[in-house]
Amino acid sequence: MFSLPLHDDAHLGPLEVWHAEEFADHLDRAREHIRPWVGATFVTDDLAGARATLRRYADHQAADGARLYGIWREGVLVGGVMFTDFQTALGSCELGCWLEPAGEGHGLVTRACRVLLDWAFSARGLHRAEWHCRSDNDRSAAVAKRLGMTLEGVRREAWPYEGTRYDKQVWAVLAPAWRALDR
């Protein structure tokens, strides 16, 4: 398994099916904090659900699709980043993230997303990367801005959550703009 340092006390690595118990424990700490901001199928309530989520991403990755990576801080899984969509034929992908409170405020998501974007644009030759978030998720929009993404538009009432529909922002960066950024 690879492990890439993100900070003195944090690293990024694949989040795989064999991490199911660790992932379930992490979701127990993160569930209510992340539930409003991530897809409903991601936030599972038990070990079987955690294992199913990891299996789903493993199957997508085996088909050269979506991928899932964990962020560990001081040896504890505190969140992660992912390609929620990865389409080489179209030259595009979508990134996503989540963190429990113990992982926030350390720049870990931004650093981890830079790793994913470098790989998508350089190694895989993709042309476009997107970031979707609820319009009221200021922390997520701030990550998109730090990544050099441009807000391309808002999809009105496209994010249902607990009986209310929220607007969704769509951010993107193109490979030439990514390469030109001074990171």
pLDDT tens-place string over residues 86-133: 999 999 999 999 999 999 999 999 999 999 999 999 999 999 999 999
Q: How far apart are CA 43 and CA 163, in angstroms?
A: 17
- Is 182's pLDDT higher than 80? no
Q: What is the CATH number of the domain that holds 89?
A: 3.40.630.30
C-alpha to C-alpha distance for 129 and 121, rounded to whole angstroms = 9
Task: Kindly indicate the confidence band of residue 183, based on its pLDDT and cuts at 50, 70 and 90.
Answer: low
CA quadruple 79, 128, 148, 177: dihedral positive or negative?
positive
What would the mean pLDDT of 148-161 be, rounded to a whole number?
A: 96
Query: Do 78 and 71 contact (CB within 8 A), yes or no?
Result: yes
Q: What is the mean pLDDT of the chain?
A: 95
Share of the chain above pLDDT 70, in %: 99
Three-state secondary structure string covering 33-86: HHCCCCCCCCCCCCHHHHHHHHHHHHHHHHCCCCEEEEEEECCEEEEEEEEEEE
CA nearest neighbour of 50 among 77, 84, 27, 30: 27
pLDDT for res 1: 58
The mean per-residue pLDDT over the stretch 13-34 comes to 95
- Give the pLDDT band of residue 41 (cuts 50, 70, 90): confident
Pairwise pLDDT comparison (18 vs 181), residue with the higher score: 18
Please count the structural domains in the chain.
Answer: 1
pLDDT computed for residue 66 by the predictor: 97
Q: Give the domain range for residue 75.
A: 4-180
pLDDT in tens, 53-91: 999 999 999 999 999 999 999 999 999 999 999 999 999
Instruction: Give the pLDDT confidence score for residue 15 in this predicted structure.
Output: 96
Check residue 165 and give its pLDDT.
Answer: 96
Cα distances (Å, whole numbers) of residue 4 to 28, 65, 78, 93: 25, 21, 15, 21
Distance between CA atoms of residues 87 and 64, nearest Å: 8
Instruction: Check residue 170 and give its pLDDT.
Output: 98
Per-residue CA distances from 156 to 66, 134, 150 (Å): 25, 10, 18
- State the pLDDT at residue 90: 97
**pLDDT for position 167:** 97
